[in-house]
């Protein structure tokens, strides 16, 4: 007899774009039902990413499964592993993280090139398979991420999406030590971690967001310059001035709306790089072809990260150089968290603790 319950508490989106419901009788996949390679994880906590709000509101060109249990910044304990799992890298009792990418085949061209997130067989936590807004989730032994022992679960959770995403974006941005990095969205979940990874990499940060709380957070975390996008009359001029007159070497855009992308090409200096990270579903990137060519601008889409990015991002956090700023709430508060995210009211991140 296993001690795994057959039902659980979960936050469920019953149909595309419908209101969230807290269910007490959502099924738990039983250990005997796990396929080889699958594991059952009992969750302690999960971060809430703006992506979960996009998935729940169905405002992207791609649609989530339904019914949907969202969530992809989970930390928990492996409580069961599918029978006949070969070369299993985890054991029962291990503390692991659940990230956006739940599964990839590890054998196709994309996986072999380190772009596991672009694997045609990819499975996505909280989008194509159920995620972490529940007491239990099914994941895959080769993709769960070991959590460094000195990091508390609540502190590790948001590294698994927000942290690893901005770490990878900065890694591929061509920015060098001493370069200016502009961060539209700096006060949000991804942005406040981007400030810290950028500072750890030796970059100089211009934080762009709005409100006194986000300004305080950004400056505390090491931004040198602050621009309030609702107050600045001319963002291009403001960024150029902040970066000594020539503009930023790189922009990592993590705002969830089109407006964060506006003018980014214009405030980059020649040779600069725009890392597109924020995911407004229907927006187009406005870029002057002439100036993109004339200024030798790079535009790069950066989509979460692979297993190595996750391990690196957690390693940097475990060294103390990057610290998630979060408030804790219970799973039942998810709807309120979505409302606050929509209104841009969350500085840093919210982490939800699971009912025991």
- Positions touching Zn ion (CB under 5 A) are 49, 51, 161
CB of 107 to ligand NAD, least distance (A): 23
**151-180 residues near ligand NAD, rule: CB under 6 A:** 161, 165
Which of 11, 92, 63 lies closest to 335, judged by CA?
11
Question: What Å distances lie between residue 186 and 7, 43, 76, 228, 244, CA to CA?
Answer: 39, 29, 28, 10, 20
CB of 163 to ligand NAD, least distance (A): 10
Is 259 a binder of ligand NAD (CB under 6 A)? yes
Is 187 a binder of ligand NAD (CB under 6 A)? yes
Which member of 163, 184, 247, 272 binds ligand NAD (CB under 6 A)? 184
Q: Are 350 and 326 in contact (CB under 8 A)?
A: yes
Which member of 210, 263, 292, 318 binds ligand NAD (CB under 6 A)? 210
Q: Rounded to an integer, what distance in angstroms lies between the CA atom of residue 73 and that of residue 54?
A: 15
With H, G, I as helix, E, B as strand and everything else as coil, classify residue 78.
Answer: strand
Residues 6+ apart with CB under 8 A from 107: none
* Residue positions counted in the chain: 356
Q: Find the part of the chain contacting ligand NAD (CB under 6 A) among 20-28, 46-54, 285-293, 307-315.
A: 46-54
Kindly report the CA angle at 110 between 50 and 106, in degrees rounded to 5?
90
Is 273 a binder of ligand NAD (CB under 6 A)? no
CB of 116 to ligand NAD, least distance (A): 13
Over the window 103 to 142, marking each residue x when it contacts ligand NAD by CB under 6 A and - when it does not, the resulting string is ----------------------------------------
Q: Find the part of the chain contacting ligand NAD (CB under 6 A) among 126-134, 147-155, 242-250, 271-279.
A: 271-279
Is 303 a binder of ligand NAD (CB under 6 A)? yes
Quick count: other Cβ atoms within 10 Å of Cβ 22?
17
């Amino acid at each position: 007899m296993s001690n795994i319950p057959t039902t659980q508490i979960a936050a469920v989106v019953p149909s595309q774009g419908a209101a969230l419901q807290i269910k007490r009788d959502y099924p738990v996949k039983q250990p005997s039902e796990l396929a080889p390679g699958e594991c059952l994880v009992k969750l302690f906590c999960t971060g809430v990413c703006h992506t979960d709000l996009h998935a729940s509101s169905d405002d992207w060109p791609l649609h989530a499964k339904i019914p949907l249990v969202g969530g992809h910044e989970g930390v928990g304990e492996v409580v069961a592993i599918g029978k006949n799992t070969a070369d299993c890298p985890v054991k029962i009792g291990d503390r692991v993280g659940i990230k956006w990418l739940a599964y990839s085949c590890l054998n196709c061209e994309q996986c072999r090139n380190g772009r596991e997130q672009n694997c045609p067989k990819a499975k996505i936590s909280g989008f194509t398979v159920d995620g972490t807004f529940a007491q239990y989730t099914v994941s895959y032994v080769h993709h769960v991420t070991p959590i460094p022992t000195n990091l508390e679960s609540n502190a590790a959770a948001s590294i698994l999406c927000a942290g690893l995403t901005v770490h990878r974006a900065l890694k591929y941005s061509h920015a060098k030590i001493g370069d200016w990095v502009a961060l539209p969205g700096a006060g949000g979940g991804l942005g406040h971690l981007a400030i810290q990874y950028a500072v750890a990499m030796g970059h100089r940060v211009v934080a762009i967001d709005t409100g006194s709380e986000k300004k305080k957070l950004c400056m505390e975390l090491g931004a040198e310059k602050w621009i309030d996008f609702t107050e600045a009359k001319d963002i291009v001029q403001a960024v150029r001035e902040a970066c000594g007159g020539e503009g930023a070497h790189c922009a990592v855009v993590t705002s969830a709306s089109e407006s964060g992308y506006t003018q980014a090409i214009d405030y980059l200096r020649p040779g600069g790089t725009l890392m597109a990270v924020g995911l407004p579903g229907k927006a187009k990137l406005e870029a002057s072809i002439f100036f993109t060519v004339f200024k030798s601008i790079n535009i790069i889409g950066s989509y979460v990260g692979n297993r190595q990015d996750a391990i690196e991002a957690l390693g940097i956090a475990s060294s103390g150089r990057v610290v998630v700023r979060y408030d804790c709430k219970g799973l039942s508060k998810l709807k309120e968290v979505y409302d606050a995210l929509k209104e841009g009211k969350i500085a840093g991140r919210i982490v939800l603790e699971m009912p025991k």
